[in-house]
Structure 1
Amino acid sequence: MKFVNSLLGLSLLLAASSQAHALSRNAGQTNQSAQQESPDSPRPILLNYTLLKTIDLATLSQNLASFGIKARNGVSIYKVSYATESLDDTSLNASGIIIIPDTKAAVFPWVSIQHGTIIAKAEAPSVAPFEGLAEASQGFVAVAADYIGYGDSAALPHPYIIAKGYQKPLVDLLRAARELANQKDFDLGPLFLKGYSEGGYATLALQKALETDYSTEFSIVASAPSAGPYNVELTGVLNVEKPVVNPVNLPFVVLAYNYWLADGQLALNDIFLPAVATVEDALSGAYNSDQVFAILPSTASGLFQSAFVADFTSDQPTLPTSRDLRALLRTQTLLDGWIPKAPTRFYHCIDDNEIPVAVTEQAVATFKAAGAPSISSVLIPSPTTGQPYLHGNCPAIFSPLQWFGEILSGKAAQ
């Protein structure tokens, strides 16, 4: 997992320097008020922003070298706080980061980047900024949400793999980015979307929202969802069937669905073999993924009740808990009710050990059969020697950046 360790190392390095920079700014002038709110005006989207870190070209090139990325410019990283809505349509304040290249261009392409699964609250982009650095190093304004449950909304449980939990907050962050661009006196041009793992799901959820509900406000040039659980039910069944499992993914889904969708009525004791309190504590946000792996079993037989496994993976579940969970998972598929309009390219490593490549293959086939005008996929094989490309080290995390660059230069082909 050298690739993952490098990611974490860079993230921690930037987090430490960002926190030190923020502390030094707190002694003077830290927050820039985005817009004064008056009783007669609607609440602004962008509430405030803070410069977390400026990275020069040489330092950024050095930081990204291990990923094979050569920076073209330095960047400034801003934490933004903005107004949005939760799943129950109540108002809340959320946060994320916006990374601006130092090229002083009048118009920037921009990319909304949805991050993969994190557990620890301390790993949110606005706390440990890494997400978007690669893209911003190539001249894109990078926009990355913390998601509900992290950053400014950390008191709430994260609505993991629930489409509505991403859509409005991500749309509102795009609006906040436009407000910040206006204040910084530059324009935002072509809009791209990308994300990996949970971020792949969030990217497709955002694309669906933008194309069905916000098409007069935003136009997507290209979208690159990667290794996401677009058919949540299929992903869940395929994972529970395996003897070795990631102890984060499905338990995180179960807890989120129980809180946000089932009003706490799922019988969690019928699902988990460890004590429910142990599972809830492990995924509370106090621990990172390595620590969760040390707390929870990584086998289906150790993590789930045997009766649940047998029934949940059957063609027609009969036990109430597995039947109810399967029904909830079906409600969160992203393959129904719309047809992607923008060029959409799905990336996935063939030997992914957590999100089976069959999930992407099904998504591509479904959208093509529905008549989507520009759907393609890049299925990445493992190298013939050395470590295979698994979920944690798949190059699809960065691969879409080349495609986006080709589109901007007019060299792309579907």
Structure 2
Amino acid sequence: MNRNIFLYCIALVLPVFMLSSCEKLGEKKPSSNNVYLKGYEYIRNISELEVEYNMNILTNLYPEAASIKEKATLGVNIYTITYKTSFQGKEIMASGLVSVPIGDGPFPFMSFQNGTNTLHDKAPSKDPNGELFLVLETIASTGFVIAIPDYLGFGVSDTMFHPYLDKESTVQTVMDMLNATKELVNRDNLDVNTYDDLYISGYSMGGWATLQLQKELETSASPGFNLKASACGAGPYNLLFINRYILDQVTYPMPYFVGYMLNSYKELGYITNSLSEILNGTYASLIPSLFNGVNDGAAINSQLTDNVSELFTEEYQNGFNSAPAYSSVRSALVNNSIDAWDIATPLMLFHGEGDTFVPYQVSRNMYDDMIELGVSTDKVQLSGLPGGGHQEGILPFGIASVLWFIDVK
């Protein structure tokens, strides 16, 4: 209900603000000194008046956002960027959305990793006025330069498949987006006063991507940013655990998550089994054509089944845990999961306690494993969203994480 009210209010007034502030100037060629940034385009300005309007709606629906509203005092310029990254050893172009506050600064950086998406026209750079992205653009008015990567398979790279839940390409794409964003705002291009503190956040698949990014930043030589805080919401951190959880259910409400992952891992060459060895024939034959950038999750779900025993083959249900025939599936899930480690950066794990898509226990296990490794409760915290389901938790998570970032900042 709250989400529908927010969308309705924004839809009523957004065209008015856009008429007065939208001034697309076309693709800009950045400085030749850049390594990552290949192009950028000014989309529009969010005025201080529009920021105030958006925050009034948000605080009416979520009173806890009042502390954010107090800090949201700046106008914001919105850009899309194209940048260089790599995939399977080859250079490729990627894209994303960047929100830049207008003011003296200096401003730190924030990277937001969005959740599971199958629609090309809902990628951040293609849908800058989408509800979640509009909220994030408004949050930039508190003094963060916010980068939101499209991920490969979306934006300028939408002719390729999306490597869903692939650790290597996801981390590479997000890191290169951050480096390109830093080049965008430097003195050779927009000349915005920034400093290297970085805050990272994401929900669902984006929560998984954020924790993968945190581990990469902490355990590899990645100079250029000073990671200050990480907020991860409802991420599928342990894919092996989730697969076992799904197989233990009578029904699973989001079969397209399963199909998306299997399709990705087949394309990447991680799984040697045919899809028909994992999914029953009718569904196995459908999978490759369903993820075409046009079908949304609901449309894909309608072509599959939520009945677990009908979706998966009997052999897979009985043999997944130990049968040699399914060793490549187990390896793919393990290799793209996240093991707990002795974190160096404060981490908040958020998860709806009523989540049936990605069970709360996944975050609980990550938290417990980190505590067992000696991580202090000052460093890692677990915040359950009482009774909250997966979809209902998105905006409450976003508000809570930004409030925490502002406090840390």
Residue 15 of structure 1 and its aligned partner are, at CA, apart by 10
**Is 1:358–2:355 an aligned residue pair?**
no
| C-alpha separation in 1, matches of 2:329 and 2:117 | 23
Verify the 8 A CA contact 1:271 1:304 in the aligned structure 2: yes
| C-alpha separation in 1, matches of 2:290 and 2:405 | 38
Match of residue 173, structure 2, among 152, 169, 173? 169
2:392 aligned counterpart, secondary structure: coil
Residue 44 of structure 1 and its aligned partner are, at CA, apart by 2.3
> What residue number does 2:272 align with?
265
Verify the 8 A CA contact 1:11 1:128 in the aligned structure 2: no
Verify the 8 A CA contact 1:244 1:298 in the aligned structure 2: yes
| C-alpha separation in 2, matches of 1:11 and 1:272 | 42
> What residue number does 2:107 align with?
108
| C-alpha separation in 1, matches of 2:169 and 2:11 | 27
Write the mapping of 1:280-299 to structure 2, written as runs, cut at 5 A: 280-299=288-307
Amino acid at match of 1:401: V
2:338 aligned counterpart, secondary structure: coil
Q: Deviations over 1:197-253 (max 9, x none)?
A: 000000011111111223432210111111101111112211232223202211111
1:95 aligned counterpart, secondary structure: strand
Verify the 8 A CA contact 2:22 2:43 in the aligned structure 1: no
Q: TM-score, normalised by structure 2?
A: 0.86
| C-alpha separation in 1, matches of 2:399 and 2:227 | 19
2:258 aligned counterpart, secondary structure: helix
Q: Deviations over 1:51-92 (max 9, x none)?
A: 112222333443452453444333221001000111x12110
Residue 18 of structure 1 and its aligned partner are, at CA, apart by 11
| C-alpha separation in 2, matches of 1:36 and 1:17 | 37
| C-alpha separation in 2, matches of 1:228 and 1:163 | 13
Amino acid at match of 1:114: Q
Match of residue 187, structure 1, among 193, 207, 222? 193
Verify the 8 A CA contact 2:276 2:285 in the aligned structure 1: no
Verify the 8 A CA contact 1:346 1:376 in the aligned structure 2: yes
| C-alpha separation in 2, matches of 1:83 and 1:310 | 44
Verify the 8 A CA contact 1:19 1:52 in the aligned structure 2: no
Write the mapping of 1:47-126 to structure 2, written as runs, cut at 5 A: 47-64=38-55, 65-66=57-58, 68=62, 69=65, 70=69, 71-86=72-87, 88-102=88-102, 104-126=103-125
Match of residue 287, structure 2, among 268, 279, 304? 279
The count of corresponding residues between Structure 1 and Structure 2 is 385
| C-alpha separation in 2, matches of 1:223 and 1:63 | 25
**Is 1:157–2:161 an aligned residue pair?**
yes
Residue 275 of structure 1 and its aligned partner are, at CA, apart by 3.6
- Counterparts in 2 of 1:53 and 1:347: CA distance versus 1, 3 Å: same
Amino acid at match of 1:326: R
Residue 307 of structure 1 and its aligned partner are, at CA, apart by 3.2
Question: Mind listing any 5+ residue stretches in structure 2 that lack a counterpart?
Answer: none
1:324 aligned counterpart, secondary structure: helix
> What residue number does 1:406 align with?
407
Verify the 8 A CA contact 1:193 1:223 in the aligned structure 2: yes
Question: Mind listing any 5+ residue stretches in structure 1 that lack a counterpart?
Answer: 38-42, 383-388, 409-414
Verify the 8 A CA contact 2:23 2:43 in the aligned structure 1: no
| C-alpha separation in 1, matches of 2:83 and 2:408 | 31
- Counterparts in 2 of 1:17 and 1:335: CA distance versus 1, 3 Å: farther
Write the mapping of 1:2-401 to structure 2, written as runs, cut at 5 A: 2=1, 25=24, 29-36=25-32, 44-64=35-55, 65-66=57-58, 68=62, 69=65, 70=69, 71-86=72-87, 88-102=88-102, 104-129=103-128, 130-131=132-133, 132-182=136-186, 183-189=189-195, 190-245=197-252, 246-262=254-270, 265-273=272-280, 274-312=282-320, 316-318=321-323, 320-321=325-326, 323-335=327-339, 338-372=341-375, 374-382=379-387, 389-394=388-393, 395-401=396-402
- Counterparts in 2 of 1:159 and 1:7: CA distance versus 1, 3 Å: farther
Amino acid at match of 2:154: Y
Q: Deviations over 1:146-169 (max 9, x none)?
A: 011111111221111111121111
Q: TM-score, normalised by structure 1?
A: 0.85
Residue 139 of structure 1 and its aligned partner are, at CA, apart by 2.3
Q: Deviations over 1:353-399 (max 9, x none)?
A: 111111111111112222335211111212xxxxxx10001122432
